[in-house]
């Protein structure tokens, strides 16, 4: 970190997560956070410590990822944005850059997060959406999938849909404010879910079960039973990572 006065910078990012090992910096592998930190440090000429709103997994995309870090005082955020975009576009783009309150923290200041999951439900795959949508060839019962969403609303222990946290005993209670399916037409379906926070692999696990409901492998009413069970084995398979996108972070 630089010596002397500092300021807090807030970035709004979009990225195609294909080919990256998630956001968090990891030695020896390409990550979104690692590439971003490198581009920032070349411009700022000092090290940075990034805080992100959501640590997306390998292959997961973002349209509304938020990152905060401390920089030398007086930094030109417009120049910083241009420099990073020249280095990382089109896979990683800074949509906006601004100075923030010194107390702002991209993760801890967040009041809610919105994820979107996209499915192409058509007998024939579409090469132009293959990086951002899960192709499900068999017909899906959208009404049943919508009905199953009802059990997700409100505050629940989502242990059945989450990997065990690294800290033993950590709470997996989350407050889901909205969960809905939208038919976008031409075989494209979008699941959108908003919550105060999410636990690891929660959205992909939820979508995996909802698709099982849509395929007739599960009944919509079983969602209530699975949530109450708190058993990861009850939820079923994970949906593929590439259909998931961190859409928005709300402050």
Catalytic residues: 57
Sign of CA dihedral 159, 233, 191, 92: positive
Residue 229 Rama label (left phi>0; alpha psi -120 to 50; beta)? alpha
All residues at 6 or more sequence positions from 33 whose CB lies less than 8 Å from its CB, including other chains: 23, 24, 25, 50, 52
DSSP label at residue 32: H
CB 10 within 8 A of CB 68: yes
Q: For residue 93, give the H/E element and its range.
A: strand 92-100
Give every CB contact of residue 225 below 8 A, 6+ residues apart in sequence: 234
Tokens 């909205």 belong to: 178
Query: Per the structure block, which two tokens stand in for 189?
Result: 């379906």
| CA 163 – CA 138 distance, rounded (Å) | 28
């Amino acid at each position: 970190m630089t010596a002397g006065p500092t300021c807090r910078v807030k970035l709004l990012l979009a990225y195609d997560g294909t080919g990256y090992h998630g956001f968090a910096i990891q030695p020896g592998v390409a990550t979104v956070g690692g590439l971003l930190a490198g581009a920032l440090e070349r411009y700022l000429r000092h090290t940075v410590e990034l805080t992100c709103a959501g640590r997306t997994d390998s292959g997961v995309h973002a349209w509304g990822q938020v990152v905060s870090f401390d920089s030398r005082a007086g930094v030109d955020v417009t120049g910083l944005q241009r420099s990073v975009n020249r280095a990382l576009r089109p896979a990683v783009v800074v949509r906006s850059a601004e100075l923030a309150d010194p107390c702002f923290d991209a993760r801890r200041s967040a009041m809610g997060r919105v994820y979107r999951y996209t499915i192409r439900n058509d007998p024939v795959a579409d090469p132009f959406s293959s990086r951002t949508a899960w192709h499900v060839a068999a017909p899906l019962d959208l009404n049943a999938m919508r009905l199953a969403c009802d059990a997700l609303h409100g505050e629940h222990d989502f242990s059945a849909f989450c990997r065990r946290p690294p800290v033993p005993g950590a709470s997996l209670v989350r407050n889901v404010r909205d969960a809905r399916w939208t038919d976008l037409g031409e075989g494209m379906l979008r699941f959108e879910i908003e919550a105060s926070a999410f636990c690891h692999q929660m959205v992909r696990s939820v979508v995996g079960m909802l698709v099982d409901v849509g395929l007739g492998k599960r009944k919509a009413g079983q969602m209530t039973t699975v949530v109450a069970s708190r058993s990861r084995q009850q939820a079923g398979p994970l949906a593929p990572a590439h259909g998931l996108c961190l859409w928005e972070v709300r402050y």
